[in-house]
């Protein structure tokens, strides 16, 4: 599906945009945990709903925790931050400290993950907006738990014509590997608008390079 949606140059531009956005998210999360945070280079794919279900977890019964919000701007959709529940507890523990047990942390999980999602998703979206020279606004985030099917039923209908800009990343916080997914749910019209914004961004980069090479 990636080839059908983006050409090679557009794919490179999307990857670069999300690299910058993820870097902003890492810096913001680092301030929350008070420790250096590294995020892997995002693996970016465009998937159907069924493919995204399989990418998140082959075991559909694996408990997940997700933070989601709607966003609007030149292109609109929904943004999700999704973790396996066990990894989300370790992320919360990195924030609140090791003095609390995992059982105690579980009581704080929803509020803490909502805040984490707010920080990561908003920094990701604002990073994309800054790079594209546009404005993106987001609603307040909501946190919910369940299996992968339940998560997607809350965010995208089975008959929706949406496509999914799917980004998987790994977090590293002082030797703690905490992997998660950032997912942008876009309908076909929003994807077309995103391509237009990316085309303008690519044209701007080309003009800048041409200007630098001109005597």
pLDDT of residue 49: 76
205 compared with 25, residue with greater pLDDT: 25
Distance CA 171, CA 179 (A): 6
Q: Are 165 and 49 within 8 A, CB to CB? A: no
Supply the DSSP string of 16-34, one letter for each residue: HHHHHHHHHHHHHHHHHHT
Give the domain ranges of the chain: 2-207
Q: Please tell me the least confidently modeled range out of 18-22, 24-28, 206-210.
A: 206-210
pLDDT of residue 157: 55
**Span 82-92, pLDDT tens digits:** 887 777 777 88
Q: What is the DSSP letter of 35?
A: S
Percent of the chain with pLDDT over 90: 7
Q: Are 61 and 47 within 8 A, CB to CB? A: no
Output the pTM of the full model. Answer: 0.81
Supply the DSSP string of 72-125, one letter for each residue: ESSS-EEEEEEEEHHHHHHHHHHHH-TTS-HHHHHHHHHHHHHHHHHHHHHHHH
Residue 1 has pLDDT above 90, yes or no: no
**Span 91-141, pLDDT tens digits:** 887 777 777 776 777 778 788 889 888 988 998 899 889 888 889 999 999
**Span 142-188, pLDDT tens digits:** 888 888 878 877 766 555 556 778 877 777 776 677 777 888 888 77
Range 2-207: architecture per CATH: 3-Layer(aba) Sandwich (3.40)
């Amino acid at each position: 599906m990636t080839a059908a949606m983006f050409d090679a140059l557009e794919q490179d531009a999307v990857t670069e945009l999300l690299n910058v956005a993820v870097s902003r998210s890492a810096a913001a999360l680092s301030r929350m945990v008070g420790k250096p945070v590294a995020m892997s280079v995002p693996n970016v794919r465009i998937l159907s709903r069924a493919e995204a279900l399989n990418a998140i977890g082959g075991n559909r019964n694996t408990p997940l925790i997700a933070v989601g919000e709607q966003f609007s701007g030149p292109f609109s959709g929904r943004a999700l931050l999704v973790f396996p529940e066990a990894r989300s507890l370790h992320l919360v523990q990195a924030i609140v400290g090791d003095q609390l047990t995992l059982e105690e942390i579980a009581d704080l999980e929803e509020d803490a993950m909502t805040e984490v999602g707010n920080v990561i998703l908003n920094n990701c979206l604002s990073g994309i907006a800054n790079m594209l020279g546009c404005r993106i606004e987001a609603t307040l985030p909501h946190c919910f738990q369940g299996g992968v099917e339940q998560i997607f039923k809350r965010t995208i209908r089975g008959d929706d014509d949406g496509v999914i800009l799917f980004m998987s990343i790994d977090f590293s916080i002082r030797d703690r590997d905490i992997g998660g997914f950032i997912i942008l749910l876009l309908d076909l019209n929003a994807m077309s608008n995103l391509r237009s914004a990316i085309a303008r961004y690519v044209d701007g980069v080309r003009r800048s390079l041409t200007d630098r090479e001109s005597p």
